[in-house]
Structures are given as C-alpha cells and as structure tokens.
Amino acid sequence: MNASIFRYVVWIVATLFYSFQYTMRVLPSVAYDNVASRFDGIDASIYANYSSIYYVGYALLHLPIGYALNKLGPRYILPLLMLLSAVGNLPLIYSDSWWLVVVGRFFVGVGSSAAILGVFKSVRIAFKPSMMAPMLGVSVTIGLFGAIFGESPVKTLLSNEGMEYVIHGFVIVGSILAALTLIFSPNIKEESSIKLDSLKSDMKSIFTNKLVMLTALFGALMVGTTEGFADVWGPKFLSALYNISGEDAAQATSYIFFGMAAGALILPLWAERTNAFYAITALSAAVMAVGMLLTMYVPIGTTLLGVTLFIVGVMSAYQVLVVHMNGLNVAPNIAVLSTSFTNMVIMMFGFLFHKVTGIIMTYNWEGKVDAVTNAHVYSVAAYQWGLLVIPIGLVIGCIGLWVIRPRKAYMPKAV
C-alpha cells in the first residue's frame, strides 16, 4: 500500500474507534427503559452505578495504558482494548447478574480509555509534527459524531429492534476495528515519555503544584454538562419536561455534542489568540450554568432548547483548554504526565455526577412505575433536584478559575 494512503488508514481507524467509544459511552442515556425491563428493581441510584463505573475504568487505567502503548506499541494493545470495550456490553443481554453488568461496563471504560491515546499515537506515527494539531482537532470533531449518532439513532434501534441487536452490533463493529488495527498498525515501540522510575517524584511535583491541582479540580466540577446530563440523564429529563418521545429527546440532547464538536475547534483558537485561557474557561462555566438553568427550569420551547444546548456544547469544549493549561503549568519534562493526570481527574468526576444525581433522584422518587417496562418513573421535579448538582458545579468552577487565574498573563507559563 502507498505510504501516504497507509498513514491515513492508520489515523482513520484510530479515529473511528474514538468515535465508536463515544457511542458506547452514551448508551446509558437511551437504554434505561430496556435495561430496567430486563433487570427488575432498577432505580436511578442503581442505574447510576452502571453508568458511572465507566469513568472509574477509564480513569484508573489511563496512565498504565498510555505507558503500554508507548512501550509495547499499538499493534497488539489497541486491538485487545477495542475488543474489551465492545465485549464488555455483552452481560447486558447474556447475564442475569446485575453485578456482571456493572463489571462489564467497567471494562467498556477501560477499553475506551485507549481511544484518545490511540488517536494521539496514530497521529504521531502517521503525520509530520506540523500536522499533529490539525489532525488531532479533526479526530476530536469526528469522534464527537459518535456521541451524536449514539443517542437518537441508537434509541430508535433500541425501540424498533431491541437491545440484543444493538449490543451485537457493538461487538461486530469492535471486532472489525480490532482486525483493521491489527492489519494496518505498524509495530512501533519507543521510550515512554512517562518514566516509571521517576513517576513518584514527578507525581509529587504535580500534587504539590497548587495551580495544577486547583485547575484540575475546578475544571472537573464543570464536566457535568457532558458526563452527567448528555451522557445519561438528559434524554429522560427532556422527555418528561417537554412530553416528547425518547427519540426526540435524544436528538435534542445530541445538540450538546454538535456544539462541542464546533467548540473543540473554536475555543482553542480563541484562547491561543488572546492568551486568556483561564478567563475563557471561566466564561465557559458561566455560559454553561445559565444554559443549564434555562434548560432545567424555564419552558423555552424545543427550538430555543436546541440553540441553548448547542451553545452549552460549544462551551463544554473547555476541557481541551484545561488539559492544555495544566500542560503549561509544569516543567516540560512532566507536561505529558500533568495532562494525563488532569484528564483522569475530569473523567473521575463523571462518576461523581452520575452517582450523586442518581441518589438524589431516587430520594425524590414518588413511587410511580411504568406498567410496561417496570422501570421507575421520575417526575420532572425529581430530575431537577438531581441535575441541580450540574449548575452548582459550574458556578463553583467559574468562581474558582477566576480567582486562581494568573494576574500578569492569563496564559500559564511553564515553570
């Protein structure tokens, strides 16, 4: 195969996996009724265990997988993790044990952790340094379409064909991507930028850097719009609030991911040109807080709802800025570790938002059960109380980032 075509194939396969993992990531947002009808007694708190454990698997294995990809090469590591992420869904249709379903979801998170790392690796292998930033931006934008098409279309498939059809489709797609990666990925090994023998001292440098820790914390408090609302509870809440079908509610929620795809290109460019990284991130939190409060409490109509959620999505791309900022807040030799650590913290807060929302919703449940699916049915008020943690987190994140911002120059400087 021509070398030029070969490098694009390597990049495309990795990008498709990144997109595919987004589809699996948002599955809980549209599968609640299907899961509840199969497993009796599932309430919001129990379902939150299933949806949130994804983020634990993603975060805990993020650094080890990154190290393994560099040390052993992507050719065998990536296919294994692609299969793991797809097969982790099988307990939903083949097991009667809820515990196994949760464990399977954990492994979906573990496998998905390799997606963005695989994109980084493939871009580095396939393209010149001058092409890395543009190709990464394109990969992230394409990846978010996995979330967009993972909600309304998957909801339609679940309603028309059933959960077995969807899960089998996941396994088939995961297997195809694994096979393509095994065939086309070069077996390149290199010295890892994260050294195990110095990991302890490097982590100490990060933990004792107040700016890094606070930036990661406040950035993580802002993640509820995607890793709480869009990933799980948004479609059910909008369906109840506007009395619309699950498919229409999923379509409305997907506007967040449309916006995020645009924001992934807009916000970094804006921040680079103005050097106002912290100010723009704080502004993003303020805009998202207003957007979420409008969505949750004001009957703005479905058209304006779509516009509002799109704007919320644009600002949700702040995550790119936070990770970049913490790469600049440390010495260059530990920048990779600092960005990986920041991404881990943000993903771990996805678990927190899912779990807290589920607990509050369960507490406010009024005892109603769907006669067909036997799923617990929650009132609009129950959703509003549960989802209130999202704008609260955004307000804290906004204030925190504004307070800790560097005074002389908003753009952080490597130390």
How do the domains of the chain map onto residue ranges?
1-192, 196-415
In the block, which residue shows the tokens 């644009």? 314
Does 1-192 match 196-415 in CATH topology?
A: yes
Window from 122-126, 169-173, 307-311, 317-321 with minimum mean pLDDT: 122-126
Residue 133 has pLDDT above 70, yes or no: no
CATH architecture for segment(s) 196-415? Up-down Bundle (1.20)
Structure tokens belonging to residue 276: 């106002």
Question: What distance in Å separates the CA atoms of residue 315 and residue 311, rounded to the nearest whole number?
Answer: 6
What confidence score (pLDDT) does residue 106 get? Answer: 95
Q: Higher model confidence: residue 253 or residue 413?
A: 253
Structure confidence at residue 414 as a pLDDT band (50, 70, 90): very low
In this predicted structure, what is the pLDDT of residue 59?
A: 85
Of 2-6, 61-65, 73-77, 317-321, the least confident: 2-6
Rg for the chain (alpha carbons), in Å? 21
State the helix-helix crossing angle for 62-72 and 335-363, rounded to 10 degrees. Answer: 140
| Triad 209, 215, 221: Cα angle to 5° | 135
Is residue 375 within 8 A of residue 33, CB to CB? The reply is: yes
**Side-chain-side CA neighbours of residue 41 (13 Å):** 3
Residues 6+ apart with CB under 8 A from 404: 211, 214, 215, 218, 278
Q: Are 364 and 392 in contact (CB under 8 A)?
A: no
Q: Is the pTM of this model over 0.75?
A: yes
Rounded-to-integer distance, Cα 414 and Cα 205, Å? 13
pLDDT attached to residue 360: 94
Tokens linked to 328:
């600049």
Mean model confidence pLDDT for the chain: 85
What's the confidence (pLDDT) of residue 306? 92
Give the C-alpha separation, 286 to 282, whole Å: 6
pLDDT for the residue numbered 196: 57
State the fold for domain 1-192: Growth Hormone; Chain: A; (1.20.1250)
> CA 406 to CA 283: how far, in whole Å?
15
CB atoms within 10 A of CB 389: 18
Distance CA 267, CA 233 (A): 26
Cβ within 8 Å of residue 145, ≥6 positions away: 19, 22, 257, 261
Checking if the pLDDT of 107 tops 90, the result is yes
413 pLDDT exceeds 50? no
The model's pLDDT over 313-353, given as tens digits with 9 standing for 90+, comes to 999 989 888 988 888 888 877 877 788 888 889 988 988 88
At 131, is the pLDDT very low, low, confident or very high (cuts 50, 70, 90)? low
pLDDT tens-digit map of 177-203: 999 988 887 665 555 555 555 677 888
What integer is the mean pLDDT of 38-58? 86
Q: How far apart are CA 25 and CA 147, in angstroms?
A: 8
- Please name which of 258, 256, 265, 261 lies closest in space to residue 287, comparing C-alpha atoms: 256
Tokens encoding 261: 């795809």
Taking residues 151-171, report their average pLDDT: 89
| pLDDT > 70: percent of the chain | 91
Q: At what angle do helices 255-274 and 277-297 cross, to 10 degrees?
A: 160
